[in-house]
Amino acid sequence: MTTPSQLNTSKQVSDDLASALAQMSQVLLAVQTVETVLNLVTELAIKTLPGTVGAGVTLVNPEGKHTRAASDPLVEQADQLQYSYDTGPCLTAWRDHCPVQIDDISAEDRWPEWTAAVTSLGVRSMLSVPMLSAGRSLGAIKVYSNQPGTYDSGSVAILELFAQQAAVLLSNSQAVSDARQLSGQLTAALEDRDVIGQAAGVLLARGAGDVPAALEALRLTAQRASTSLLTVAHVIVDTTVARHADRST
């Protein structure tokens, strides 16, 4: 029979979860930075999952595996051991696209090197779930406890909700970042084109036959000087501007 105390605890967890997801939705709408997203995820995981002493996010990309927004040095140390051995619960969750739960580190035999090393950190149980977006695993969220048997199927369901939201947030943040980077590249390209066009105009005024001939002259000059065509164009334009300024004074 469910006691009033259990009902109150269940209601508190439910309220905390609803509040947590609401906060994550607000971040989604605001399209905040990746760091904001990951810090929020770890804070909410600790608040919502009783017994958690540390939370963090492992992101995996072409540059490697990185722990981001770790709430405690314990998380960073436990994660670093996984990266060193290239095996462990978080990496398994990421690779296999499935939750990984450890009820008691001392009885776990799936990753003997990691479990032997992490025992000295005081970790007794943990839970990790992958962050999936469009079938692609971006990494994994994990929570650690200093007590055995801290997490159950309900904990898995809650952390999976966080992981789903985090994956959406990260994908959106990355999309915004990519768009800004592309915009910056396009702006720079247009600016470069303008400078090269101005330099070609200067060479036309100096007697170059046509635009292709002016551009070829720029290319040959850059080749002889072992520098870029853009650098040569800047020198020509800047020198011409300076000369005009001297004449007008």
Q: What is the pLDDT along the chain (249 residues), one digit of tens a residue?
A: 444 443 344 444 445 555 555 555 444 434 446 777 788 888 888 988 999 999 999 999 888 898 988 999 999 999 999 999 999 999 999 999 999 999 999 999 999 999 999 999 999 999 999 999 888 899 999 999 999 999 999 899 889 988 887 787 777 665 555 445 544 554 554 566 677 788 888 888 888 888 788 888 888 888 888 877 778 888 888 888 788 777 766
CA angle (221 as vertex; 217, 226 as ends), nearest 5? 150
- Identify which of 81, 85, 189, 172 has the alpha carbon closest to the alpha carbon of residue 133: 172
Hey, which residues does 137 pair with through a beta bridge?
132
Residue 140's Cβ-count burial label (10 Å; 0-12, 13-18, 19+) is buried
Compute the distance between CA of residue 180 and CA of residue 2 in angstroms, rounded to an integer: 53
User: Going by DSSP bridges, is the β-strand pair 64-68/54-61 parallel, antiparallel, or unpaired?
Assistant: antiparallel
Residues of the chain within CATH 3.30.450.40 domain(s) are 4-179
State residue 113's pLDDT score. Answer: 94
Q: What is the enclosing helix (H) or strand (E) of 142?
A: strand 136-145
Hunting for tokens 């990185």 — which residue is that? Answer: 66
Nearest 10 degrees: Cα torsion 23, 136, 81, 112: 120
Supply the pTM of this predicted model: 0.61
Residues of the chain within CATH 1.10.10.10 domain(s) are 180-248
| Tokens representing residue 23 in the block | 């906060």
Assigned CATH for 4-179: 3.30.450.40
Compute the distance between CA of residue 150 and CA of residue 49 in angstroms, rounded to an integer: 9
Diameter over CA atoms, the chain: 97
Q: Give the DSSP letter string of 1-15.
A: ---HHHHHHHHHHHH
State residue 213's pLDDT score. Answer: 83
- Identify which of 172, 130, 181 has the alpha carbon closest to the alpha carbon of residue 37: 172
Residue pair 32/172 in contact by the 8 Å Cβ criterion: no
| Tokens representing residue 140 in the block | 């994994």
- CATH number of 180-248: 1.10.10.10, 3.20.20.80, 3.40.50.720, 1.10.1060.10? 1.10.10.10
Distances (CA, A) of 213 to 23, 220, 224, 235: 61, 11, 16, 18
Compute the distance between CA of residue 87 and CA of residue 174 in angstroms, rounded to an integer: 27
Hey, which residues does 102 pair with through a beta bridge?
126
Distances (CA, A) of 185 to 14, 33, 63, 189: 46, 20, 21, 6
State residue 164's pLDDT score. Answer: 83
